[in-house]
Structure 1
């Protein structure tokens, strides 16, 4: 682990020789305990990520036990805790990414890298190509769709195509009519069992893709 500091040894080495007693050492170690906690949280969990077990409903957890629920780390605040997350007073949410910063700095929008990241984040299986991962990405060919400009009234709208337009475009608001929808630059395919996680998949992928890239999600049978 980076910055692996033994604070007991640090206190002992810092004290003057005539003050290196058990009482002085324990007192200073106690004073440093908040710093030790912050060091473990930041350089431990934040940098290297979490490997805690997934939360299991109706299981009894003791105080300080940490679990992963909905890709977030939670800590039990008391012993004999069988309450569901996020029951107030029983669970504390830790703002620490499940995947450590040391790994996340290598992520990008490249297909194979993003597929690896998505499968790891959502606890699915990544497979080296040409095998297909549980969550995989398909790049789409975006056609040149027209866009429509309107002031809110469909009768006062104009369409603008690739090389022509209908009327003078003056309105400020651009909208898509019901029969036309923006095409995704790429599609994230996920198992049907993950239905309901579309927004979370897109939010995660957008962290590693350029601004303006449109992402869509499809759940396969």
Structure 2
């Protein structure tokens, strides 16, 4: 069994437990010890962060190879058009390479909690909302994707990771679950053939 904590991370909270500059961190909202975030969420983004005390589960959630879906609601500057949506869907080229195809559609403005501080709007420029689901985690990826198609992100909320979501969680709220982790990998390691003493083992990248 593994502990899994769902946190609705507020705006301007670091996705770590300590900070030398006195900024808000996960420690201000998560009172459980020995849990670690499975992946990260930017300081200026809001929404779901998963934390666990199980290394295998942490890897399964955060590893790019697992391609676990992550869904975001993004408020963008301007009325996003069909061409931009198609480009996001097909994948866009960023400085660190192309993104994988994504699922994207327009979204009626969601009934979200007020952000503190509020989003700064330009009075003469409209905004619109999209729902975007990606299966990778490049640095600030959603913001860079929407900027690349001409619609900068003003507010970004991650609503789900895999089968877990923030339904019913207020900003700063948490929910704790007990997760049954697969045992087949443990059995495979237990019954793995012994290596010859002179053989070498490649280190896995972490």
Q: TM-score, normalised by structure 2?
A: 0.22
Greater helix share, structure number: 1
**Greater relative contact order: 1 or 2 (C-alpha under 8 angstroms, separation 6 or more)?**
2
Greater strand share, structure number: 2
Larger radius of gyration: 1
